[in-house]
Structure 1
Amino acid sequence: LAPLPVAALRLAPETASGLARLGIRRIGDLTGMPRAGLARRFGQDLVRRLDQALGVEPEPISPAGAPLHFAVRLSLPEPIGLQADILGGLDRLLPPLCDKLRARGRGARRLRLEMLRAEGGTEVIEIGLARPADRPDSLRPLFELKLGDLDAGFGFDVLRLCAPVTEPLHATTHKGGWAVAAEARADRTDGQALDDLIARIGARVGLDRITREHPADSHIPEKTQSTQAAAYSAPAPDWPAPARPRPLTLFRPEPVTAPATPDLPARFRWRGRDFEIRAAHGPERIAPEWWLDDPNWRSGVRDYWRVTTTQGARLWLFFAHGATLSGGWFAQGDFG
């Protein structure tokens, strides 16, 4: 250890630099120095690290456990290339892999099927799931959807199936009477069916392209919901009702031709059509989030109105008072 630098003792950076300023750059320079002086000047941590390196003070180490590994392999006496044969091999691989997963209380979130060609090279199929699964009947159809684009060449002589991404899969029990248990089973069946549907569509277009909306806490109309990946989020349990009515259709603000004053106009022009207001409710003032620079809200404070026109349209209009951008009248929603 003597020729190693003092930094090898895992010292704090300020301690190592302090020793260097005194010309102590190697561990061998420390071993012959008075311990009391070192501890008084640099603290007990320096002496403790030196003792641990020399074996005087024990330093128990807890080794990291081996990572979980779930994989099965099938070697074939003759190469195969037909889709039916590959599915037959998959039927041999899925049950033992699922048995391994169940033995460790895990479910697969991603599976990879590696097919080694007889002449060299590998074809790989990967599938993702919306919920951890350990049942062959829910995994096999996802692979079947992707077998049509394979290049078998002279055939595959080795199939390897592995689960690189797994999650805990806990058994659930429901307390209560027969009706409660039946309802819980029905809810679980519906949830599993939805997850299977998401996995099937995800096998075609990708799981990241399937999204669901969740409510978000914001007074800004465009930010009252957040978009999340459906495969990695649960359905929103309850969508809170807004404090004030909101339109069924919300779109980006579109200019409305009307006098540029805060007073609600009797007539306006929007999307090339003239409208006359029959009834209106408002204004509801909404201010931009001052701590965020949102380009869509640089027109400043908005006064929203729910208007009903003589033509039957029920629209959500607002007047922007102007800030870094000019204000005016805009339409942002349709109540249907």
Structure 2
Amino acid sequence: MWWSALLPPDPSGTDAGAGAQARADALACAAARADATAQALALWALRFTPRVARLDEAVVMDVAASLRLFGGAAALRERVQAEATELGATRIAWAPNGLAALALARAVRMAPGALSVLAAPVDAAPLTAQLDPLPLTVLSATAPHRQTLAHIGCRTLGQLRRLPRAGLARRFDAALLHALDQLYGHAPQTPTWVRTPAVFDARLELPHRVDEAGALVFGARRLLLQLAGWLAARQAGTTAFTLHWAHDAMRSRGAGEGGQLTVRTAEPTREVEHLARLLAEHLARVTLAAPVGDLRLLADEVRPLAPRSASWLPDDAQSEGETLSNALERIAVRLGPDRVQCPVLVDDHRPEHMCRWQSAGQALPRRAGAPDADTAFGPGLPQPAFVLPQPLKLWVHQHRPLYQGELQLLLGPQRVEGGWWDRDEALGHTRHAVRDYWVAASAQAGLLWVFQTRLAEEPAWFLHGFFA
């Protein structure tokens, strides 16, 4: 499994001067900003997976099922790093579970504002080798017991893991052992997944006051990333959204509290780059009455957005009402009737004659009573994934067929008989087939589909298919 942990800025590093009250106020503001950043990261992470959760101060997401969708692990990791940085993430770590990813992200020591990305243990060192040297502070469950553990010389996760479990269970609570098992992947984790709100309404406090409307795009892009995640979770797109801005508190009386701008699209979309370009074009014609300190983005109109098909063939939902059969007829006219062919199932028990290719304009639907796997070969007999165009005759040794070694017959026989009506005029005989099919095992080639002829004067063995 692939889990990522995203950490917002650490509010504990805030320096508010010598005054205790001033420092407390600054820490509270920093904590509020960190929580807002975590909420934004959780909403944005829904672009990649619906399995997103808040874990302490971090956001964790399970992207194991999304690797292929986003072009592989390297491409997904690069995209997550780039976009998470825009939203304010300062630490990113990867691990086989969420708690381990959070521990690795907490262990990073860096300069304020820097981004550190840790390699995933699945393609680096084993998880135990990465976790054992880490201090106990990376695991929240150790907080009530750190002083006691320090007295016995236990300061790292590896030292804690090597302590006798019976003694830990007697001296400490069960939550510590359970969290340790979850951290190392020995116990399952059941996080509470983030639930998408019914409406999208996100706010952003700008790091500095903005005087020009065009510069608002850089802050609005962070809100658009969250909007894209919210829309992805709802499998929808937006056709209208509104950007509100609030003027600075030191504005003049005539400036007003702020302004707003509504952007509309011709069709539902959740492409961040497209929405950002449209917003930039609109803001280029806006003049701010006063400096802006806060932004707010609302999704006004949301519509279902059907996923795009990866097939080059048109389907009914994307071809403006044109069915696949109509499209094939049009392509056949353009390329020629023999250049576009369709498979047609035939009522025949011989595997090589169950399917025939005909011109797309002449292809007939499957006839009633055409055989399927159960009627042709009996219920429960596996069918091969690959069938050879022509059966391959096998050598026989002491009545045993050979293919990269002697074959062991596992299932069968299943008798197939047919084709007495199918006459080959050129050769002057019928294609009558009487065979006994078997599922056979080869030490080198795996599972095979073989049959033995029964009409020939001397029965022979043939290889007809491979199991995937």
> With structure 2 as the length reference, what TM-score do the two structures score?
0.26
Query: Which structure has the higher relative contact order (CA within 8 Å, separation 6+)?
Result: 1
